[in-house]
Amino acid sequence: MQTLHARAMKEMFLLASLALLSRVHSTGFTADYEYVWNTREQNRCIEIPEDLRLCHGIGYPRMLLPNLLEHDSVAEVKQQAGSWVPLVHRRCHPGTQVFLCSLFASVCLEKPVYPCQQLCESVRDACSPIMESFGFLWPEMFKCDRFPHEENEMCINGNLSSNPDVPEPKAACPQCDIGMNTDFILENMCASEFAIKAKVKKTKTQNMDKKVILQRKKKTVWNKNQSIREPKKLMLYLKNGALCPCEQLDNKKDHYLIMVRKVDERYLLTGIHQWDEERSEFQKLLNQIKTHKCSALDSIFK
């Protein structure tokens, strides 16, 4: 049986091929993007690298360079695409990977075929609240009105919203997901600016958010940017935390590994995991935190 993503991407490839055969052009959109496409010096097809985690094994073997985001090299694609892997893992929408890979690992065809505006809007509406929980906005490069309407048949629609194999999003706040493995936690850490060991003292609901007050004693575990240091009196906010449960915040006895990102003048709680040095997996995580290299998120989420 084909996997969901394999079926999705084969469907995507078929839709793209049929779109080219039909020669149906949208007014305005196609002309704009054909101009960019035709001014490239050289387009080439390459095998999708195994370490392009976002799209390797997606359902088709080869991708186009430059891609539809105008990334010229494999290294650039890997760097930019890597930061979107955690969003796919969140399963906020069944078409997230289809949408992203249609841009990052574009199908090798004679002419470019973009994702449909409707697919973009559907993924954006489902996933942008998750991104906002971590202090990120839907980026300008994915502005949905840049893409064509599916009625023109020159775009990829995904058509996955009703697939019963896709699990529903978890009810817990995304920052409080306790089911993540070591790799997911490291990816979550890279969306943060520092991590600390601390205990929760109390919480208060403030509008749609939850204010998290920590006990005074805490220890810095990791800091991405030494110019940003946690204040002595650290007040955290769980974005949209009034709307979802976070069982870790109910436990005032245990230590937690808490990840934080500064947005404007607020410090957002982006992850919270039980501190358990007796577990070998947690010890492995602490060791990996010291050496893990993060993608340049600031250059991506604009």
DSSP assignment of 162-214: T-TTSPPPPSS-GGG-S---HHHHHHHHHTSSEEEEE-EEEEEEETTEEEEEE
In this predicted structure, the answer to whether residue 152 has a pLDDT above a threshold of 80 is no
Distances 114 to 83, 101, 120, 121 between C-alpha atoms, Å: 21, 10, 10, 13
Q: What is the pLDDT of residues 54-64, one digit of tens each?
A: 999 888 899 99
Pairing of β 209-214 and β 235-238 = antiparallel
pLDDT of residue 176: 92
CA separation for the pair 82, 300 (Å, rounded): 10
To the question of pTM greater than 0.85 for the whole model, the response is: no
Q: What is the pLDDT of residues 213-272, one digit of tens each?
A: 999 999 999 998 776 677 778 999 999 998 889 999 999 999 999 999 999 989 999 999
CA trace torsion 242, 204, 182, 172 (10° rounding) = -20
Tell me the angle at which helices 182-190 and 280-291 cross, rounded to the nearest 10 degrees. 40
pLDDT of residue 26: 37
Q: Stretch 39-61: mean pLDDT, rounded? A: 85
pLDDT of residue 52: 95
- Minimum mean pLDDT among 182-186, 279-283, 293-297: which range? 293-297
- In the DSSP assignment, the letter for residue 156 is E
Q: Stretch 113-125: mean pLDDT, rounded? A: 95
